């Protein structure tokens, strides 16, 4: 039923309610409600209207445009394709349901390297949104290795007073600050850290409702439960009080990287589709000869509501499209124009039946690159990724539209240490693959105690998920600039935690620093080194003679939500930096165990970029129970004193770790 015409010449053809036109300067696609026009000289949409309302504002430099493609992927770094030698294609057709659609493709070969960068925009009749795909291809046999793909993203970057609010998800939203330094606004604000500002205007609704500080990271999110994010216009700025929404719907996630724990920026005044970045320690793929990946589809949904429509109502309208099954037939119809897109005929269903450990909460099943940690799902650039919640009572889980191939299955759950993996899960096109497995929780004997919740985050500790009591929107505290929480004030005697008596939400900080304050801390510009009360944390616990009887081996497990070594967000080893690899020590009743060396390529810039969950790592310290005694025992969790690294950007120099959960077992 596919009927499509590729216009190689400038042309204009009218369908019932959908037009696609091209002239010497622009390509335009519109239906009776949405109008989008690409300027050929910049490779970007620079005119976008919904029911006649301008959603972008006037173009000025890189504002007033989008969605457009942008990367950090050429040898010198940043590049915005479409400005050197773009080639355009106008597409039009009807899909299997006889619905008319139109599309624009921008393709550019970067002359110095031969990299191909492409952006696809599709509009369907009856919809008020744009389906986007973005592609990078590199075929160069003389230079096999180009660089890492450090950033790949699309931006919707308005230059209009229309937009009034930011929305990350159902609980994280706020008025846009005015001026907005993250979107290039000029005015009265103080830079306190890289891309982090203190806003002095006490009358700014953002300051009143959300925080004195604004950072693009405040509005980031983790992919697992993320569906849509956007900008909202609450009616106060539109001519007739109508509301508007600009939403990015992550209707498919299989072409992103890093699995469900990938986290990134979503909106800060600019509305992003962050396809790849190393933020929060996310892995980035290498661009090597043969790299060819098309990311998407993502759906940019624009909506209009009558005066009084709430942000949440506008968000929920976008949410209805957040499913990989939505519009699958349409995507099949256009697949012939989108290299690498895997149509339904190349996909199957995966069904799991997982016997879970008792008390497993919020269990998840993940399919990623075979034989690799799901967080490293960037090594094989052909690998796709999927995840779904497992029904905790039955253990059933199902994932539709899985690209045919072999996967690693990973299962984890809240309250359970460790995780389950099984390789060689094969999904065949047009078939349902079933997997029946049992996950037996790891155990190293009798559990003497545990601290925190194994949930891959440090959110349960002080200043993590706790809601800020001082602002009406009560943001989760970790989302705010870290220096707002002064460690030496909160912990005047350092961390002294007594198992069974202390409270994790009060008596353990969400970050274990080596040194606090100094560079990039505007509240405490002089470093506080302390005398071991910063870098050394003490955990005290009681045991009895009976606990220790017939036990010879003690296993102390540390799961980290994130760790920052001198490598920061990069995977680069710097030989001149003493803490590229970070030694972490546990001292049992005065006896230091062999240090755990946290490797540079497991480093994340996490808490300082407003996160409690980055690249997860874990270690088991195994020691002789002879080091323990009946009565009170102590464990000192020790980072090197005053351990810092050189930072090229305005970021704190201290290394640090963020705990997920700890436990001591005896056998």
Positions touching ligand NAG (CB under 6 A) are: 14, 17-19, 30-32, 112-114, 140, 142-143, 164-165, 173-175, 178, 187-188, 201, 203-205, 234, 283, 285-286, 311, 378-379, 529, 531-532, 535-536, 574, 576-577, 585, 587, 592, 636, 638, 641-642, 644, 646
For residues 658 and 512, is the Cβ–Cβ distance under 8 A? yes
Closest separation between CB of residue 116 and ligand NAG, Å? Answer: 10
Which residue, 140 or 370, is less far from ligand NAG as judged by CB? 140
Closest separation between CB of residue 585 and ligand NAG, Å? Answer: 6
Closest separation between CB of residue 594 and ligand NAG, Å? Answer: 13
Closest separation between CB of residue 554 and ligand NAG, Å? Answer: 18
- Strand segments, DSSP code E, in 95-128 are 100-110, 115-124
Which residue, 203 or 493, is less far from ligand NAG as judged by CB? 203
Closest separation between CB of residue 401 and ligand NAG, Å? Answer: 26
Using CA atoms, how far residue 168 sits from 130, 218, 223, 477, 651, in Å, is: 20, 9, 11, 15, 24
Provide the 3-class DSSP secondary structure of residue 505: helix
For residues 410 and 399, is the Cβ–Cβ distance under 8 A? no
Which residue, 18 or 266, is less far from ligand NAG as judged by CB? 18
Using CA atoms, how far residue 553 sits from 304, 309, 414, 459, in Å, is: 64, 62, 26, 31
Closest separation between CB of residue 307 and ligand NAG, Å? Answer: 14
Closest separation between CB of residue 114 and ligand NAG, Å? Answer: 2
Ranked by CB distance to ligand NAG, the top (closest) residue is 114
Which residue, 4 or 636, is less far from ligand NAG as judged by CB? 636
Which residue, 312 or 503, is less far from ligand NAG as judged by CB? 312
Which residue, 360 or 639, is less far from ligand NAG as judged by CB? 639
Which residue, 165 or 625, is less far from ligand NAG as judged by CB? 165
Closest CA to 288 of 137, 85, 475: 137
Provide the 3-class DSSP secondary structure of residue 278: coil
| Torsion of Cα atoms, 524 then 505 then 222 then 390, to 10° | 170
Q: Using CB atoms within 10 Å of the CB of residue 91, give its burial: 0 to 12 exposed, 13 to 18 middle, 19+ buried.
A: buried
For residues 144 and 289, is the Cβ–Cβ distance under 8 A? yes
Closest separation between CB of residue 642 and ligand NAG, Å? Answer: 4
Closest separation between CB of residue 94 and ligand NAG, Å? Answer: 15
Which residue, 284 or 435, is less far from ligand NAG as judged by CB? 284
Q: In whole angstroms, what is the distance from residue 334 CA to residue 338 CA? A: 7
Q: Which helix (H) or strand (E) holds 311?
A: helix 311-319
Which residue, 238 or 585, is less far from ligand NAG as judged by CB? 585
- List 193's β-bridge partners, or say none: 196
Closest separation between CB of residue 610 and ligand NAG, Å? Answer: 19
Tokens in use for 204?
A: 């700014």
Closest separation between CB of residue 71 and ligand NAG, Å? Answer: 16
Which residue, 124 or 401, is less far from ligand NAG as judged by CB? 124
Q: Which residues of 386-398 are buried (b: 16+ CB within 10 A; e: fewer)?
A: bbbebebeebebe
C-alpha angle 510-516-519 in degrees, rounded to nearest 5: 120
Using CA atoms, how far residue 389 sits from 172, 362, 364, 392, in Å, is: 22, 7, 4, 8
Which residue, 35 or 461, is less far from ligand NAG as judged by CB? 35
- List 538's β-bridge partners, or say none: 496, 636
Closest CA to 261 of 510, 420, 456: 456
Provide the 3-class DSSP secondary structure of residue 120: strand
């Amino acid at each position: 039923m596919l009927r499509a015409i590729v216009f190689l010449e400038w042309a204009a053809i009218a369908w019932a309610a959908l037009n696609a036109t091209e002239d010497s300067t622009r390509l335009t696609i519109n239906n009776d409600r949405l109008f989008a026009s690409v300027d050929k000289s910049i490779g970007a949409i620079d005119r976008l209207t919904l029911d006649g309302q301008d959603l972008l504002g006037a173009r000025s430099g890189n504002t007033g445009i989008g969605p457009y493609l942008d990367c950090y992927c050429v040898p010198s770094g940043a590049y915005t394709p479409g400005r050197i030698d773009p080639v355009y294609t106008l597409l039009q057709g009807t899909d299997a349901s006889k619905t008319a659609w139109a599309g624009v493709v921008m393709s550019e070969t970067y002359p110095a390297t031969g990299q191909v960068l492409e952006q696809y925009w599709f509009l369907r009749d009856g919809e008020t949104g744009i389906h986007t795909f973005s592609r990078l291809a590199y075929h160069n046999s003389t230079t096999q290795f180009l660089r890492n793909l450090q950033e790949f993203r699309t931006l919707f970057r308005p230059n209009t007073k229309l937009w009034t609010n930011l929305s990350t998800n159902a609980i994280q939203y706020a008025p846009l600050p005015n001026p907005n330094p993250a979107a290039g606004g000029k005015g009265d604000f103080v830079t306190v850290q890289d891309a982090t500002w203190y806003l002095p205007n006490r009358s700014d609704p953002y300051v009143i409702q959300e925080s004195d500080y604004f950072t693009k990271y405040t509005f980031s999110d983790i992919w697992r439960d993320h569906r849509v994010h956007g900008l909202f216009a609450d009616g106060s700025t539109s001519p007739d009080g109508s509301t508007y929404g600009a939403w990015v719907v992550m209707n498919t996630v299989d072409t992103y990287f890093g699995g469900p724990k990938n986290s990134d920026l979503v909106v800060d005044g600019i509305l992003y589709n962050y396809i790849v970045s190393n933020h929060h320690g996310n892995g980035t793929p290498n661009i090597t000869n043969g790299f060819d990946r098309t990311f998407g589809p993502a759906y940019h949904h624009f909506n209009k509501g009558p005066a009084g429509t709430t942000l949440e109502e506008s968000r929920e309208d976008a949410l209805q499209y957040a499913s990989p099954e939505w519009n699958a037939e349409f995507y099949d119809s256009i697949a012939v124009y989108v290299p690498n897109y895997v149509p339904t005929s190349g996909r199957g269903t995966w069904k799991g039946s997982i016997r879970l450990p008792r008390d497993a909460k919020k269990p998840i099943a993940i399919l990623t690159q075979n034989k690799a940690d799901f967080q490293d799902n960037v090594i094989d650039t052909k690998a796709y990724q999927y995840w779904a919640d497992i029904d905790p009572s039955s253990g059933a889980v199902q994932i539709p539209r899985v690209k045919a191939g072999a996967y690693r299955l990973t299962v984890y759950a809240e309250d359970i240490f460790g995780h389950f993996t099984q390789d060689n899960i094969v999904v065949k096109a047009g078939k349902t693959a079933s997997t029946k497995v049992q996950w037996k929780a790891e155990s190293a004997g009798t559990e003497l105690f545990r601290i925190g919740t194994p949930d891959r985050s440090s959110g349960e500790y002080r200043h993590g998920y706790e809601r800020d009591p001082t602002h009406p929107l009560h943001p989760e505290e970790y989302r705010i600039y870290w220096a707002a929480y002064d460690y030496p004030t909160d912990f005047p005697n350092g961390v002294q935690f007594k198992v069974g008596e202390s409270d994790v939400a009060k008596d353990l900080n969400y970050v274990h620093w080596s040194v606090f304050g100094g560079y990039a801390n505007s509240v405490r510009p002089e470093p506080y080194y302390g005398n071991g009360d910063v870098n050394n944390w003490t955990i005290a616990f009681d045991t009895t003679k009976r606990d220790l009887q017939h036990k010879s081996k003690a296993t102390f497990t540390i799961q980290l939500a994130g760790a920052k070594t001198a490598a920061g967000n990069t995977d680069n080893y710097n030989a001149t930096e003493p803490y590229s690899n970070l030694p972490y020590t546990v001292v049992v009743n005065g006896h230091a165990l062999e240090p755990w060396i946290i490797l540079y390529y497991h480093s994340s810039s996490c808490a300082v970029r407003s996160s409690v969950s980055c690249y997860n790592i874990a270690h088991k310290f195994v020691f002789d129970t002879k080091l323990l005694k009946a009565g009170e025992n102590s464990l000192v969790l020790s980072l090197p004193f005053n351990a810092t690294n050189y930072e090229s950007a305005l970021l704190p120099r201290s290394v640090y770790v963020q705990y997920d959960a700890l436990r001591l077992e005896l056998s």
